Structures are given as structure tokens and as C-alpha cells.
């Protein structure tokens, strides 16, 4: 029996399932111990790994090659500098996570960095860093680009979905998705409408962003019934300083979601900081405590 399965987020192309479990499992264990108030054994837990599918897509020539070296490299900002659709979507997306006050405050400060980023983006990326902290714009754009690829490249999406289908057993009771992994987890539940799941946990999720939902096959799946069909509970853990979430409550879209706010301090999007919080641990502990000692 595998009681819980994790689905990772962006930027893990050079890692693998075993390497990532070294970080995920102890962090989740810490969250469970905080919830239990005592040392406990980690219930059966495993991880879906799919990031190498993105590398394969690059090797096949379907997408741009190489990692994102930084926003100061104009070529890193856009996968295809001639793709106006991508440019417009990225501009709209970054603008979605900042306010007019953020833009005004960043404009009043001495300009720093991003001088080689296309000019239409400079105002909003500086505002994103102003609101969420240094490097926030780079993190957000990196996350959005992989979410965009997952939802927009049918071949790649099928390969990722196949990995998830093969790795999630019928007896899995808890599904934990971080960042892009939360979108992948949601898609798993949508594709398997008869699937019964005790708990969906989303960490640092971009599902609250309009630009993400606009690309999903059925962005309002489960909203009428408050939750996806067959899912007994959905806990969404977010740090308001995490640019990937933009501090958006998912209960505004799916009324049955239990939104829980945390403070991850200097690394707001960190999966280990999310997993180790009592807000995450108590949700998982409530379902799996009978399988731990």
C-alpha cells in the first residue's frame, strides 16, 4: 500500500525520484510530527517523477533548448522571441500578480536590473520583485513557462499524465501536488472522474491564476459540487509571499477548498518548507494517522 503520493513542481529535469524523495519524505515527516505532537513513522509515501519529459521534448525539437539562465538574458525570457502570443501571455500573467500600488512603488525606487528584458516587461517584473522579493519575477516566469508547456503541448502532457497514471496506485489515499504538480494532480482527478481520494493537498499552487486556468481543458471542473468528483477534501497551503500563488485563495473558485496560509520566510515557494508546516502535516495526519505509529 502507498498511502500518499507526491507530484513535484518545476525545474527538476536533472534530478530523479529517489533524489527528490530525500527532501520530500523527511519534510513531510516533520509536518506530521508537528501535527501529532510526537515522533511518528512516515506512512507509505512515494513520488511521481516526470521532469525528464521536458528534457525529452527539447531533444525532440518541440520546444526551446536549455534551461532559463536568468531574466537579464532576453532570450531566456521568451522561449521564442518571435512568438507574440507567448509574449502577450507572459506580460498578462506577470501583470496579474502585481497591483497598481506595486508598480508605482517600484517606479519610484531607483531602477535595478532587467535592463535587457524586453521593455514592455520591465515595469511589471520590477513590480513583482518589489512585492514578493528579489528573484520573484524569475521564479514566476519559470513556473508559468512550464505550466504553459504542460497545458499547451498535447504530446508532452500525455507523457506526463501517463507517468502519473502509472505511479498512482488505486489504494492511494492522499495526493500532494507542489507548484506545477498541483495542476498535474488536478488534471489527474479530472481525467479520472470516478477516482476516490480522501485528500488532495496543493502547495504553492498557480491554480488561482486566470492565465493558468484559461489554458486548462476544464478549469471549473468540480466547482459546482464544491470539489472534484470523488475527492473528499482539498487542502490548499499557500504563502502570501509566494509569487506562484499570488496569495490567491482557491476557495473563491472551488468553495469546498480549505485554504491555509503559512509563512515560508525567505524561500516562499520551497516545497520542503510547505511540507514541514503543521498546516500541511495536520491535513495529511488526519487521514493517515492510523497507518503511522
pLDDT digits (tens, 9 = 90+) for 88-112: 777 888 889 999 898 898 888 777 6
Q: State whether 213 and 122 are in the same domain.
A: no
Q: What is the pLDDT of residues 153-204, one digit of tens each?
A: 999 999 999 999 999 999 999 999 999 999 999 999 999 998 999 999 999 9
Q: What are φ and ψ of residue 238, in 5° steps?
A: -145, 145
Q: State whether 144 and 162 are in the same domain.
A: no
CB–CB of 3/291 below 8 Å?
yes
Q: What is the CA angle 261-267-270, rounded to 5?
A: 75
Kind plus residue range of the DSSP H or E element containing 151: helix 136-152
Residue 156 confidence (pLDDT):
96
Q: Tell me which residue of 192, 181, 187, 174 sits closest to 291, measured CA to CA.
A: 174
List the end-to-end C-alpha distance of the chain, in Å, as a whole number.
16
- Can you tell me the mean pLDDT for 228-241? 97
Does residue 18 form part of some domain?
yes
Residue 106 confidence (pLDDT):
84
Domain that holds residue 92: 74-151
Choosing from 116, 151, 186, the residue where a domain stops is: 151
- Can you tell me the mean pLDDT for 71-83? 51
Q: State whether 220 and 173 are in the same domain.
A: yes
Sign of the dihedral defined by the CA atoms of residues 181, 137, 239, 274, in that order: positive
Tell me the sheet residues that pair with 259: 236
Q: State whether 97 and 52 are in the same domain.
A: no
> Lowest mean pLDDT: which of 8-17, 32-41, 49-58, 208-217?
49-58
CB–CB of 172/45 below 8 Å?
no
Sign of the dihedral defined by the CA atoms of residues 155, 147, 7, 208, in that order: negative
Amino acid at each position: 500500500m502507498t498511502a500518499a503520493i507526491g507530484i513535484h513542481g518545476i525545474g527538476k529535469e536533472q534530478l530523479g525520484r529517489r533524489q527528490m524523495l530525500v527532501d520530500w519524505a523527511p519534510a513531510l515527516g516533520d509536518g506530521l510530527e508537528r501535527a501529532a505532537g510526537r515522533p511518528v513513522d512516515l506512512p507509505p509515501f512515494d513520488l511521481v517523477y516526470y521532469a525528464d519529459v521536458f528534457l525529452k521534448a527539447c531533444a525532440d525539437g518541440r520546444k526551446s533548448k536549455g534551461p532559463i539562465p536568468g531574466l537579464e538574458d532576453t532570450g531566456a525570457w521568451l522561449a521564442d522571441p518571435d512568438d507574440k502570443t507567448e509574449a502577450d501571455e507572459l506580460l498578462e500573467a506577470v501583470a496579474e500578480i502585481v497591483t497598481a500600488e506595486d508598480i508605482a512603488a517600484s517606479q519610484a525606487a531607483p531602477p535595478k536590473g532587467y535592463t535587457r528584458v524586453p521593455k514592455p516587461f520591465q515595469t511589471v517584473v520590477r513590480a513583482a520583485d518589489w512585492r514578493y522579493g528579489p528573484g520573484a519575477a524569475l521564479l514566476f516566469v519559470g513556473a508559468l513557462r512550464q505550466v504553459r508547456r504542460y497545458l499547451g503541448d498535447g504530446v508532452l502532457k500525455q507523457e506526463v499524465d501517463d507517468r502519473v497514471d502509472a505511479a498512482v496506485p488505486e489504494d492511494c489515499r492522499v495526493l500532494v501536488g507542489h507548484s506545477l504538480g498541483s495542476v498535474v494532480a488536478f488534471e489527474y482527478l479530472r481525467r479520472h472522474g470516478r477516482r476516490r481520494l480522501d485528500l488532495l493537498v496543493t502547495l504553492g499552487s498557480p491554480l488561482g491564476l486566470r492565465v493558468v486556468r484559461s489554458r486548462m481543458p476544464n478549469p471549473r471542473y468540480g466547482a459546482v459540487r464544491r470539489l472534484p468528483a470523488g475527492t473528499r477534501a482539498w487542502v490548499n497551503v499557500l504563502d502570501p509571499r509566494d509569487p506562484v500563488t499570488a496569495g490567491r485563495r482557491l476557495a473563491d473558485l472551488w468553495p469546498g477548498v480549505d485554504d491555509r496560509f503559512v509563512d515560508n520566510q525567505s524561500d516562499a515557494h520551497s516545497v520542503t518548507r510547505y511540507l514541514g508546516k503543521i498546516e500541511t502535516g495536520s491535513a495529511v495526519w488526519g487521514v493517515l494517522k492510523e497507518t503511522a505509529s
